Amino acid sequence: MSEGTSVPFGPQHPVLPEPIQLRISLEDENVVQALPALGYVHRGIEKAGELNDFQQNVFLVERVCGICSSIHALAYCLAVEAVLGLEAPKRASYLRVVWMELHRIHSHLLYLGLLAEAFGFESLFMEFWRVRERVMDLLEMTAGNRVIISVCTIGGVRRDIDAEQARAIREELPKLRDEARRLVDSLLSDYTVRQRTVGKGTIPAALALELGAVGPTLRGSGVAQDMRMAGYAAYGELEFRPVTFPDGDTYSRTAVRAEEVFQSIDLVLAALDNLPEGDLKVGFKGRPEGAALARVEAPRGELIYMVVGNGTKNLERMRVRVPTYANIPALLTVLPGCEFADVPVVTLSIDPCISCTER
Amino acid sequence: MADATLQTGSLEERKIREALPGALVKAKVHKGDLFLCVRREQIREVASLLRNDPELEYKFFSECLGVDYSRWDHERDLDGRFEVVYNLLSLKLNKRIFVKVAVDDGQKVPSLVPVYAGAEYPEREIWDLFGIVFEGNEQSQRFLMPDDWVGHPLRKEYPLGGEDVLFAEGDRGPAVEDIAMPHAGESFEGKTGTEDVSGR
């Protein structure tokens, strides 16, 4: 390694929305080693989860990550509900699907925009974010907030979607689908984009499984694993098939996310069509005692919450295993061998969420 | 498979008891999930068995986490201050199991990195936040905490809200006189309800 050059990639870098450092060793233009330095945004949320009471934690965990905030809240609520032996009412489960899928749409559109920006396609980036803004408007209309929507609570949801709001969503989403389709087609069929992504940062399926990769990173390697198949909330009653692409390269991972946008639109519409009448939440008494684990599919992959309750209002332990955390080893394994110019795009292709990773 | 010596009747438990007698301390089913409590020294053999057995194929390492039970007054499965809980997934059986080991201060857990490459980062994080050492994956640099941080913050005695900002020079913030003992002589009463800061 004495001949090589060492380049710090991050913590501040134009393509990185959040701080992470990769110390990259180069031999000519080729990466031979990538070492991570984490901890720039470690906030100790797991510790704070032991000091707040278990109902306050719903709002705490939403602040783990801005992009998938309400999915964190859902995972936490499912875990606490499992400890308490609660089951959310049917209507609440369907409403949860609606909000979670709206979150997934805006997260994936954000990723596609950032990827376009990483190539230098500024206008495509803004087009994607313009479409994304319509999802944010839907979230604001239904929940009162754009990002941290705070709809989940232990035992159900805190807000309803009435008939008029449902009609507005039904009108908006098909338009959004057409616009997104046009943009996705131009992204995925573009010659330059294919040059920059096809065959770059290839993670074979066996390696992805070995390193425990999750979510679109795993599905982009052709493994059909998606926590929504487990049927939490109302996913078991809605038609659902995971999107996979076989090649394992940056292009495949992008294509998985692009297709999932349309799948999520269909899921939202299906959930609204089948929305049952009923209560929004069940009441409960008592405090959590015992351990339970909840797994949900966040936009970046499998999100795991493990909750250990000791019978008091404070939890003994709250563990958050976020998807990016599981995907970073796979990323670091494929970076050696890449050209240095591909490092930003390959790094972005796992859609890293550092504030999730470090909690 | 009604074997009287089995505690849960599960295939995983039977395989481990046959191949590695004595490795399993306890097996239980809690809220639908299988928990296998394993002797710390044999965790690597148990993990290899679970991973490589053609009928099990627990090839997917989801995560491992540490728990500090020093303030726990309920029933425990294992003795020892900390527990490390491994969360393994079998894509073949579509099943998730938990494997637990107990560890006290000063003891080491064999690292699972030779069996599951994905274990490297979770183990580093557990070392950083709990101070549990993994044999074969020893670290000298902090993982999530700043490099000059003292102590392991997820230990129960570690106070929250009591930390000063650790700056080396006095003109940039509330400086700490002795970085090695940042809370010497300071009381945490009213902050966290404890004065015990032995974790730092």
Query: Which of A292, A317, A319 faces B31 most closely, judged by CB atoms?
Result: A292
What CATH number corresponds to the domain at position A161?
1.10.645.10
A321/B contact by beta carbon, under 8 A: yes
Which pLDDT score is estimated for B178? Answer: 47
- Domain range for A137: 42-358
Q: Is residue A24 part of a domain?
A: no
Which pLDDT score is estimated for B5? Answer: 62
| pLDDT, mean of residues B16-36 | 80
Q: Is residue A353 part of a domain?
A: yes
Q: Is residue A143 part of a domain?
A: yes
Q: State pLDDT tens for residues A326-351.
A: 888 888 888 888 888 888 888 888 88
Distance CA A329, CA A315 (A): 30
Query: What CATH architecture does domain B11-135 belong to?
Result: 2-Layer Sandwich (3.30)
Contact B74 A289 (CB under 8 A): yes
- A338 residue type, one letter: C
Contact B65 A38 (CB under 8 A): no
- Cα-Cα-Cα-Cα torsion A116, A122, A124, A130, nearest 10 degrees, comes to 110
Contact B72 A316 (CB under 8 A): yes
Percent of chain B with pLDDT strictly greater than 90: 0
Burial group, residue B58, by CB count within 10 angstroms (0-12, 13-18, 19+): buried
Output the 3-class SS for A270-286. HHHHCCCCCCCECCCCC
Interface of A with B in 35-94 (CB under 8 A): 38-39, 42, 44, 46-48, 51, 82-83
Query: Which of B30, B59, B116 faces A291 most closely, judged by CB atoms?
Result: B30
Query: Which of B60, B117, B142 faces A39 most closely, judged by CB atoms?
Result: B142
Residue for token pair 């040059």: A195
The total number of structural domains in chain A stands at 1
Q: Report the residue of chain B nearest A322, measured CA to CA.
A: B63
Q: Give strand pairing partners of A315.
A: A309
Q: State pLDDT tens for residues B56-81.
A: 888 888 888 888 887 777 777 777 88
Token pair, residue A53, equals 């009471």
Q: Is residue A196 part of a domain?
A: yes
Which pLDDT score is estimated for B176? Answer: 45
Percent of chain B with pLDDT strictly greater than 70: 74
| pLDDT, mean of residues A162-188 | 89
CA of A33 to nearest chain B CA: how many angstroms apart?
A: 17
- A341 residue type, one letter: A
Contact B60 A209 (CB under 8 A): yes
Q: Is residue A25 part of a domain?
A: no
Q: For chain B, which residues make up each domain, given as ranges?
A: 11-135, 157-200
Distance CA A41, CA A354 (A): 7
Q: At what angle do helices A163-188 and A250-273 cross, to 10 degrees?
A: 160
Rounded to a whole number of angstroms, the CA Rg of chain B reads 20
